[in-house]
Amino acid sequence: MSETIKLKPTVLILCTGNSCRSHLAEGILRQEAGDIITVASAGSKPAGYVHPLAIKAMNEIGIDISAHVSKHMNDFLSQPIHTVITVCGNADQACPTFPGQVQRHHWPFDDPAHATGSEDEQLKVFRRVRDEIRAVFGAYAAGLRASLG
């Protein structure tokens, strides 16, 4: 008797730079639903790094994204992507259709990388955006769980 290996559906989160918002969302969604989906993030114009204040803001809620790397969305064009979620307008406009893509959502958030002022003032913006992303992606994860019945 052969066993069929069922792969978890992949959710790809896109933003422009893949340095802040998409990594915040990736870390949160992986924590909330990583047992039922595969989560990845990428950018249309990757910055080449994950913003240190994004890492710090996530550490405050017990999620370590320090090993994340900035990736280009084209790296995923040959992979089956079930759901694409864009978290900024530029990525939404630049987003291609991925093989096997079933769903697409656009949930825009402010870019905390544009925050100004002292590091503490900037971190407040990162925390706000993190918490907004946590609310939306937490609800999304809960919906995924409910749909599995």
Domain ranges within the chain, ordered by starting residue: 10-140
pLDDT reported for residue 149: 61
On the question of pLDDT at 148 being above 60, the answer is yes
Average pLDDT for 37-41: 96
Confidence of residue 72 (pLDDT cuts 50, 70, 90): very high
Give all strands of the β-sheet with 10-15 in edge-to-edge order.
38-43, 10-15, 83-86, 103-106
pLDDT reported for residue 67: 97
pLDDT reported for residue 101: 74
| Residues 50, 23 contacting (CB under 8 angstroms) | yes
Fold of 10-140: Rossmann fold (3.40.50)
Can you tell me which residue has the tokens 């870390």?
Answer: 27
pLDDT reported for residue 14: 94
Average pLDDT for 48-74: 97
The token pair at 22 is 């998409």
On the question of pLDDT at 96 being above 90, the answer is no
| Dihedral Cα 93, 95, 100, 105, nearest 10 deg | -50
Higher pLDDT, 90 or 29: 29
Confidence of residue 147 (pLDDT cuts 50, 70, 90): confident
On the question of pLDDT at 97 being above 80, the answer is no
User: What is the spatial distance between Cα 16 and Cα 33, in angstroms, rounded to a whole number?
Assistant: 24
| Contacts of residue 131, Cβ cutoff 8 Å, sequence gap at least 6 | none
Q: What is the pLDDT of residues 3-19, one digit of tens each?
A: 555 679 999 999 999 99
Q: Residues with catalytic annotation? A: 15, 88, 95
